Amino acid sequence: MLIGIPRETRPGETRVAATPETVKKMAASGKHELVVASGAGTASSIPDDHYVAAGARIGSAAEALGADIVLKVRGPSEAELPQIKKGALVIGLLNPFDKAAVESYAQAGLTGFALEWLPRITRAQTMDVLSSQANIAGYKAVMVAANEYGRFMPMLMTAAGTVKAARVLILGVGVAGLQAIATAKRLGAVIEASDVRPSVKDQVESLGAKWVDVPYANDEERKIAEGVGGYARPMPPEWMARQAEIIHERCKTVDVLITTALIPGRPAPKLIKAETVAAMKPGAVVVDLAVEQGGNVEGSVQDKIVTTANGVKLVGLANLPAYVAADASALYARNVLNFLALSLDAKSGAFAVPRDDEIVKAVLICENGQVVPRG
């Protein structure tokens, strides 16, 4: 088998789907050839010769895209698609919610594996790209906020007087939110956090943050809030209104707000209205991690830092893991390798996709020219 690692071409995408560490493991059996597009690792601080030392050869973009198995970060672009051969296995963040893109992959004859749909079962944890990348996004959100904030994050006692610790509010406490709490804590901030799912309260408190409670009016609301498969569901408008009121009051007092709330396959829930931003303190920083899914915050603009009339900075930088390219690639590449290991025997080099495996079944989005319906 020829395994190809193209250079990602989406604007701002700095990550790469294989590193010398994972290339070495894939090449170990000697049965598979690896071709890395020249410059594929440059934005992740991996020079071509490191891939060569690990057992790959450097080739053109067309060679990497023309392989039997193509390892990608983002789904192939319109320009890349015709260069992928019919029947090739393409593994990556293929955005399975984008029906038109999936249809185009099917028509191009790809066998596409969208890692966004990995089931959240123990066996799939080492492949879980959403977790590995959300963890990085949560960390970087705090770093960006600290950078944009015109004051210290920790409390300081100096000869020139005392500096107060920054007050940070985190909304949406999944993988990204938990890492944001941990990172802000390390910087010495005072943290509050909230989520729709009640099970998160203990995790928030164990990280040393204060839980902001949005009560449920009845059992039905509580049931919806529990979500499915670890993911949230859309909440009824009455609960959202109650949440907006409580969060509005908290926002008046905070210096940094980080929002990470997502519902799979839907636009991000709007948690912060323009009037709440208008009530925030001048110099406050808001980082909207959901900006690519439509944003949690009214007024945040993708890939822009907007300063509002009342002096609040709205940070809408998308794809924060790409700002931590080397580590994001290292973790992503290991996730991909672990997924590939389901089909690839590391010692013998034999390759066979286990069609009945529930992980394989969950992520297969197209095959033989057809879109595979989600089971």
Q: Which is nearer to ligand NAD, 4 or 177 (CB)?
A: 177
If one asks whether residue 316 binds ligand NAD (CB under 6 A), the answer comes out as no
* Shortest reach from residue 231's CB to ligand NAD, in Å: 5
Residue nearest ligand NAD (C-beta atom) = 174
Q: Which is nearer to ligand NAD, 125 or 302 (CB)?
A: 125
Q: Which is nearer to ligand NAD, 58 or 263 (CB)?
A: 263
If one asks whether residue 195 binds ligand NAD (CB under 6 A), the answer comes out as yes
> Is position 131 annotated as part of the catalytic site?
yes
Residue 228 tokens read as 């499915």
If one asks whether residue 45 binds ligand NAD (CB under 6 A), the answer comes out as no
If one asks whether residue 261 binds ligand NAD (CB under 6 A), the answer comes out as yes
Q: Decide: 138 and 175 in contact? Cβ < 8 Å.
A: yes
Residue 327 tokens read as 């580590």
CA dihedral sign of residues 300, 303, 309, 313:
positive
Residue 294 tokens read as 């439509």
Q: For residue 120, give Cα distances in angstroms to 50, 88, 230, 354.
A: 33, 26, 8, 19
Task: Return the SS3 of 32.
Answer: coil
Stretch near ligand NAD under the rule CB under 6 A, chosen from 39-47, 259-267, 309-317, 326-334? 259-267
Q: Which is nearer to ligand NAD, 299 or 349 (CB)?
A: 299
Q: For residue 45, give Cα distances in angstroms to 17, 19, 272.
A: 13, 10, 37
Interface mask toward ligand NAD for 264-293; x: CB under 6 A:
x----x-x----------------------
Q: Which is nearer to ligand NAD, 56 or 94 (CB)?
A: 94
> Is position 206 annotated as part of the catalytic site?
no
CA distance 155 to 165: 4
If one asks whether residue 120 binds ligand NAD (CB under 6 A), the answer comes out as yes
| Identified catalytic residue from 57, 107, 120, 266 | 120
What is the maximal distance between C-alpha atoms in the chain?
71
> Is position 355 annotated as part of the catalytic site?
no
Q: What does the buried/exposed string (b/e) look like for 295-309 if buried means 16 or more CB atoms within 10 Å of the residue's CB? A: bbbbbbeeeebeebe
Q: Decide: 6 and 70 in contact? Cβ < 8 Å.
A: yes
Choice from 41, 92, 96, 174 touching ligand NAD (CB under 6 A): 174
Site for ligand NAD in 226-255 (CB under 6 A): 230-232, 235
Q: Decide: 259 and 320 in contact? Cβ < 8 Å.
A: no
Binding site residues, ligand NAD, CB under 6 A: 120, 125, 128, 130-131, 134, 171-177, 195-197, 230-232, 235, 260-264, 269, 271
